[in-house]
């Protein structure tokens, strides 16, 4: 096998937009923000919690009495952010602040647009700067800004939290951007894939062949540096049927994802099964790789037409 001149690296993004139903309390809170109104909820002992919760954080009592609070408040504590990251409320340096809004007994976390850390202090008065376009999300509060007005000046009258066209669902984007370095073993594995060769590494102690290679045996804890070509054919050991279409993934559902024990390997890898109806995939099915359009990696595995493998031949890899 050729030596790997350098370890590969590549940018990687893991993203999962999570959608949840809101319930009556959080629905009213986010709908209120859309209407430039901040709502809290009153607890059994009379405290007003902002943002509102469905249950008392102390007694776990169910809460439903919504209370409108002011859009101005007092900073209770803060931290300066000199280098904002992508997706944060402001693109210029700002302060993270906990703000106790007028009429509330708890503090709300948000951003404060300030000229510098010397312009921020605990106890300072601030007010909401509303976003120009509001959709029913916490980002409807664009940020807070300093305010010299007296406490309680904009405290509104009681409000029942009733709005037309309430917001009932929230989609929260979760995203992680980072640079992935697969290491020596997997760099060699990826380079060999581009030559349509599937290469694992053998443990010098237990003699198991791991694909993809990990650089060390997870059982014996010793380095693996002997390369072994395996497959390319293999056996389906177990599988699942995917019925939910993933965002930005151009694969029609339902489809099958399976664990495949490649011939000569002692560890099953996972891959998509194609070329066969999803309801005909089975344990023991013999499969082979179908390479991607650029030929750099197997796009999916398809049936070889061979007889199914005997269960005893792959039962240790299920």
pLDDT value for 86: 85
Q: Does 161 score more than 80 pLDDT?
A: no
Single out the residue of 263, 285, 176, 185 nearest to residue 225, CA to CA. Answer: 185
pLDDT value for 150: 57
Torsion angles phi and psi, residue 184, rounded to 5 = -60, -50
Q: Is the pTM of this model over 0.75?
A: no
Single out the residue of 81, 80, 74 nearest to residue 122, CA to CA. Answer: 74
Give per-residue pLDDT as tens, 127-142: 999 999 999 999 999 9
Q: Does 160 score more than 60 pLDDT?
A: no
Query: What are the C-alpha distances in Å from 275 to residues 189, 222, 255, 261, 272?
Result: 26, 39, 11, 18, 10
What residue segments make up the domains of the chain, in order of their start?
23-167, 183-317
pLDDT value for 246: 79
pLDDT value for 271: 95
Burial 90-125 (b: 16+ CB within 10 A, else e): eeeebbbbbbbbbbbbbbbebbbbbeeeeebeeebb
């Amino acid at each position: 096998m050729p030596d790997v001149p350098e370890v590969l690296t590549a940018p990687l993004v893991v993203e999962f937009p999570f959608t949840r139903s809101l319930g009556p309390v959080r629905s009213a809170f986010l709908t209120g923000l859309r209407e430039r109104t901040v709502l809290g909820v009153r607890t059994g002992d009379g405290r007003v919690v902002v943002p509102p919760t469905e249950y008392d954080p102390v007694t776990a009592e169910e809460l439903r009495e919504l209370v409108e609070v002011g859009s101005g408040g007092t900073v209770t504590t803060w931290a300066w952010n000199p280098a904002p990251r992508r997706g944060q409320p402001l693109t210029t340096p700002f302060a993270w602040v906990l703000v106790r809004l007028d009429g509330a007994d708890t503090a709300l976390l948000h951003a404060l647009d300030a000229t510098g850390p010397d312009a921020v202090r605990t106890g300072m008065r601030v007010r909401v700067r509303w976003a120009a376009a509001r959709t029913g999300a916490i980002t409807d509060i664009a940020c807070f800004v300093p305010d010299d007005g007296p406490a309680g000046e904009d405290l509104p009258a009681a409000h029942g939290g009733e709005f037309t066209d309430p917001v009932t669902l929230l989609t929260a984007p979760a995203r992680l951007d980072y640079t992935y370095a697969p290491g020596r073993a997997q760099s060699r594995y990826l380079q060999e894939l581009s030559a349509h060769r599937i290469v694992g590494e053998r443990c010098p102690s237990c003699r198991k062949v791991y694909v993809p290679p990990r650089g060390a045996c997870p059982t014996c804890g010793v380095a693996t540096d002997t390369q072994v070509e395996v497959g390319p054919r293999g056996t389906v050991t177990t599988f699942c049927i995917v019925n939910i279409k993933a965002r930005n993934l151009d694969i029609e559902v339902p489809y099958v994802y399976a664990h495949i024990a490649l011939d000569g390997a002692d560890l099953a890898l996972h891959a998509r099964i194609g070329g066969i109806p999803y309801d005909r995939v089975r344990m023991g099915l013999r499969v082979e790789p179908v390479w991607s359009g650029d030929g750099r990696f197997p796009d999916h595995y398809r049936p070889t037409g061979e007889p199914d493998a005997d269960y005893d031949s792959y039962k240790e890899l299920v």
